[in-house]
Amino acid sequence: MHDFVFSMMLLGALSTGGNTPFWAASNQYGIMPAVNGGLGVMQAYVPFDESKTFQWRAGTSLAANYSPVDPLNPESSPFHPMVDELYAGLRWSVLRMDLGMRHRDREFLGSDPLLGSLSVTEGHIIESNNARTMPGVCFSLEPWGVPFTKDHLLISGDWADYTTIDDRFVQGALVHRLRAYVRYDTRKHFYIQVGLDHYALWGGTPNDPRYAPIDVNLSNYFRICTGRSASASGSLSDRMNCLGDHGGAEQLRMGWREDAWDLTFQWEKPYSDKSGMRFNNIPDGIYTLHWSLRDKDRWITDALVEFHYTMWQSGTVHERETDADGKQIEWYPGFNIFGMDNYFNNGEYKSGWTHFGRMIGAPTFFTEGAKYGIRNNRYKAIHFGLSGKLFRKAPYRLMLTMSENYGTYSSPYVGKSSAHSGWNWWEPNTIDHGLKQLSAAFTGYVPLRLGSRHSLDIVYGLYADAGEVFSKNFGATAGVRYTFR
């Protein structure tokens, strides 16, 4: 029997600096106001019925935020309505299809899924819930045991296509997504998984006539899906590299399971070109360690520590590609290809891997507006997350993020960058100078019983920023959430 869930939340946000603090707005589906204001969300959905072989689900989420009128644009409306989610899905055995706009699945959760993930990336550096959803279709293979392996070897993945709907440098850019994972599971305690999470931006109409649009046809779609370069009619960059803007991450995950707890380690390494995919950018990546109790009614149920490092980017010199014999390939005099990878940015798709001005993946890759891509993709950070239930009743989440941010190789925050310096990643680097930043959050809710089908929660959040990227700022959110099941 299908369950029907309806919820409605009203939330107010206030800060000393006027702007919404980092963790108040990050990984919040891109719907929180950027300044002091309020948010209203109304959601209704029907989940999969796990008792059936052939299953369906559907849902919608409508949101509107309120913020004071911008003095630089007094004619702008203070109300901003949004379609947050609108989707339908089908599932048969391990095959699934989702159509429409839907939130990304979160991992490394705490004591309650409603509080979100303890991780900055939410388990995927490429796609957290930091930005608005995109409409599209996704075909998924859920973990499937390879025959004759007794379910020790499992494969899973996604094949998806979306379209951007924001105001960006290339209007209407399309997104192709591919995920592929292989897991070996002892079926007792240990498992290990490797995977690839890939995206490609293509199509659309550039706002600058100097950039030629990529034709949307089957031939170019095949080139996008196979990572091939452009035909003779494509731009020089697309003929040298791959058609469109390609990027992604390679993932290694290991886990240990006990009856009372789980321990998970993950290394996820981004890439923006062939050198990154070939591991030339080691040691870059996000390293996550998550400990989780199965009993979610304790004062402390989950703890997470995460280390971020994206400084190397395959080297400080944009080197020429070489062929199988080691001979340099002269694509164009003075035009090189490897090194200074510039994660999540692109010379032609200048908005980069963003949607509605927000980084689609980990929010610690700071953005610079809807049309200018990622402002900060070279940084070091340490992040802590803690979750549990106060008095074994009220779920909470504590987040603490400390970072040093360097901007990009070509546009550092401070002084000169180490571009073209020739330093090795394992040697001390005295050229780059970063901006320190501290962001913290304590969020949770107090559940109130209204019967078996109705519930009312008092939702709260306390936030703080201090540093050189975001000025000193203290903020709070408070509201109510009603749910009917």
**pLDDT computed for residue 334 by the predictor:** 44
pLDDT tops 70 at residue 431: yes
Q: What is the arithmetic mean of pLDDT over 256-261? A: 95
pLDDT category of residue 220 using cuts at 50, 70 and 90:
confident
Residue pLDDT, tens place only, 303-356: 999 999 999 998 888 765 555 555 555 544 444 456 788 999 988 899 999 999
Cα 241 to Cα 348: distance, rounded to the nearest angstrom: 13
| Residue 148 exposed, middle or buried by CB count within 10 Å (0-12, 13-18, 19+) | exposed
pLDDT category of residue 231 using cuts at 50, 70 and 90:
low
410 torsion bin: left (phi>0), alpha (psi -120 to 50), beta (else): alpha
How many Cα atoms occupy the beta-carbon half-sphere of 90 within 13 Å?
6
Q: What is the 3-state secondary structure (H, E, C) of 14-62?
A: EECCCECCHHHHCCCCCCCCCECEEEEEEEEEECCCCCCCEEEEEEEEE
Around Cβ 205, how many Cβ atoms within 10 Å?
11
Residue pLDDT, tens place only, 379-422: 999 999 999 999 999 999 999 999 999 999 999 999 999 988 87
- Alpha helices by DSSP H, listed for 280-404, are none
Give the residues across from 484 on adjacent strands: 6, 454
Structural domain total, the chain:
1
Torsion of CA 383, 389, 395, 401, to 10 degrees: -10
Query: Which of the pair, 337 or 283, is modelled with greater confidence?
Result: 283
Domain with 148, as residue range(s), is 5-484
Residue pLDDT, tens place only, 108-155: 999 999 999 999 999 999 999 999 999 999 999 999 999 999 999 999
**pLDDT computed for residue 336 by the predictor:** 44
Cα 310 to Cα 267: distance, rounded to the nearest angstrom: 13
Cα 404 to Cα 308: distance, rounded to the nearest angstrom: 10
pLDDT category of residue 234 using cuts at 50, 70 and 90:
low
**pLDDT computed for residue 335 by the predictor:** 44
- As given in the structure block, the two tokens for residue 380 are 């070091």
Q: What is the arithmetic mean of pLDDT over 61-80? A: 77
pLDDT tops 60 at residue 17: yes
Q: What is the CATH number of the domain that holds 235?
A: 2.40.160.130
**pLDDT computed for residue 272 by the predictor:** 85
Residue pLDDT, tens place only, 359-380: 999 999 999 766 679 999 999 9
**pLDDT computed for residue 68 by the predictor:** 80
pLDDT tops 70 at residue 66: yes
Which of 16-20, 134-138, 371-375, 437-441 has the lowest average pLDDT?
371-375
| Residue 426 exposed, middle or buried by CB count within 10 Å (0-12, 13-18, 19+) | exposed
**pLDDT computed for residue 390 by the predictor:** 96
Q: What is the arithmetic mean of pLDDT over 440-451? A: 92
Cα 222 to Cα 203: distance, rounded to the nearest angstrom: 13
Please, what is the Cα angle at 68 between 42 and 9, to 5 degrees?
15
Query: Which of the pair, 223 or 335, is modelled with greater confidence?
Result: 223
Percent of the chain beyond pLDDT 70? 89
Cα 121 to Cα 446: distance, rounded to the nearest angstrom: 26
- Secondary structure element (H or E) that encloses residue 218, with its range: helix 218-226
Average pLDDT across the chain, whole number: 89
Query: Which of the pair, 212 or 193, is modelled with greater confidence?
Result: 193
**pLDDT computed for residue 99 by the predictor:** 97
